[in-house]
Amino acid sequence: MTDTQKDPTPNPVGRRTVLLAGGATAAALAVGAAAQHTPTTATTPSTEPVAAAAVCTLTKQMTEGPYYLDGQYVRSDISEDKTGIPLNLTLTVVDDDTCVPLKNALVEIWHSDALGEYSGFVGNNGHDEPDNGTFLRGGVLTDSSGVAKITSVYPGWYRGRCVHIHIKVHTDVTLTPDGSFTGGEELHTGQLFFSETITTRVAALAQYAVNTVPRTTLAQDSIYDEGGAASGLLTLTPLGSTTSAGYAGTLTLGVEQG
C-alpha cells in the first residue's frame, strides 16, 4: 500500500466498537519556505545524520494518505501495547511569519506499527493481528510554548514508502466527553521522517526484522523531497546507549494561519 494512492479497497473496521474509516480525502501537496531559515545540524557519534528544527519556516504540506481516521483520542501516549522501541516526540508549533508559538493547537499523529500495519486497516501490509482502530493514533494540545509531547513507538514500514509519521495541526477543536475531539480548523497536514542511518539500525532489531516487506529508503521515497527539517525530517537523539532504548524526536512546525 502507498500514500500516493487512494484507499485501494481497504477493509477498515470501525473505531471503538465498530471503526469507521471517516478520513478526509488526500490533501493537495503544497510547498513554501520563509527567508529566515538557517538550518544547523546536530551531530553526535550515535545519532548522525539528524536535522535541525526549522524555526520560522513554513513546513511543507504533504499528502494525508488513505489511512486517516477522524475523531481520535486526545492523549499523550498513543503506543498502547504495540511492539517497538520507544519514540518520544517533542513538536513545537509556531506561526511561520512571526515565530509566535501556537498554544492550544491540537497536534495529531498516526503511523504504522512494526509490521507496517495501520490501526483500522490491518492486513493491508500482509499481516494478521488484532485491530482496535486506535493504536498509534491520537493527539495532544500544545502548551503555552507551542509544545506538544507524544509518546509512541518507532514506526515500521510498508510497501512503497519509507518510515514516516503522518501529522495534522488543528486549532479551535472541541474536546468530547469520550476523550476525542471534533471541529476546528486544520492548519497543516504533513509527514515526519527519520534518518536512514538510524532506521537501518532499528530495522535490524528482532521486533522489526519480522516485517519482511521490502523497505523503501528515505532517498527512494516518492513523498520526501530531501528538504530536511522544512520537509519534516526529525532531529533524533538516543534515549540510551543501545538502539533498543529508543529515540527522542524533535521538530519545529511552522504553520500558516488564516
Cβ 254 vs Cβ 59: under 8 Å? yes
Helix (H) or strand (E) holding 151: strand 147-153
User: Distance (Å, rounded) from C-alpha 41 to C-alpha 33?
Assistant: 18
User: Distance (Å, rounded) from C-alpha 53 to C-alpha 32?
Assistant: 16
On whether residue 68 sits in a domain, the answer given is: no
- For the question of whether the overall pTM of this predicted structure is more than 0.85, the answer is no
User: Distance (Å, rounded) from C-alpha 194 to C-alpha 120?
Assistant: 24
On whether residue 258 sits in a domain, the answer given is: no
On whether residue 1 sits in a domain, the answer given is: no
At 246, which CATH number? 2.60.130.10
Residues 6+ positions from 68 with CB-CB distance below 8 Å:
23, 24, 110, 166, 168
Torsion of CA 202, 207, 209, 210, to 10 degrees: -160
pLDDT tens, position by position, 104-120: 999 999 999 999 999 99
User: Distance (Å, rounded) from C-alpha 45 to C-alpha 80?
Assistant: 32
For the chain, percent helix, then strand, then coil, each to nearest 5? 5, 25, 65
Mean local confidence (pLDDT), 211-215: 96
On whether residue 63 sits in a domain, the answer given is: no
User: Distance (Å, rounded) from C-alpha 234 to C-alpha 251?
Assistant: 6
On whether residue 174 sits in a domain, the answer given is: yes
Q: Give the residues across from 250 on adjacent strands.
A: 90, 235
On whether residue 157 sits in a domain, the answer given is: yes
Q: Which three cell numbers stand for residue 122?
A: 490491518
Question: How many domains in the chain?
Answer: 1
Range of the domain at 145: 86-181+197-252
Q: Poorest-confidence range of 36-50, 163-177, 181-195?
A: 36-50
Cβ 136 vs Cβ 164: under 8 Å? no
For the cut 60, the answer to whether the pLDDT of residue 215 exceeds it is yes
On whether residue 232 sits in a domain, the answer given is: yes
On whether residue 257 sits in a domain, the answer given is: no
pLDDT at 58: 87
For the cut 60, the answer to whether the pLDDT of residue 8 exceeds it is no
**55 falls in which pLDDT band (50, 70, 90)?**
low
Helix (H) or strand (E) holding 198: helix 196-203
Q: Give the residues across from 90 on adjacent strands.
A: 149, 250
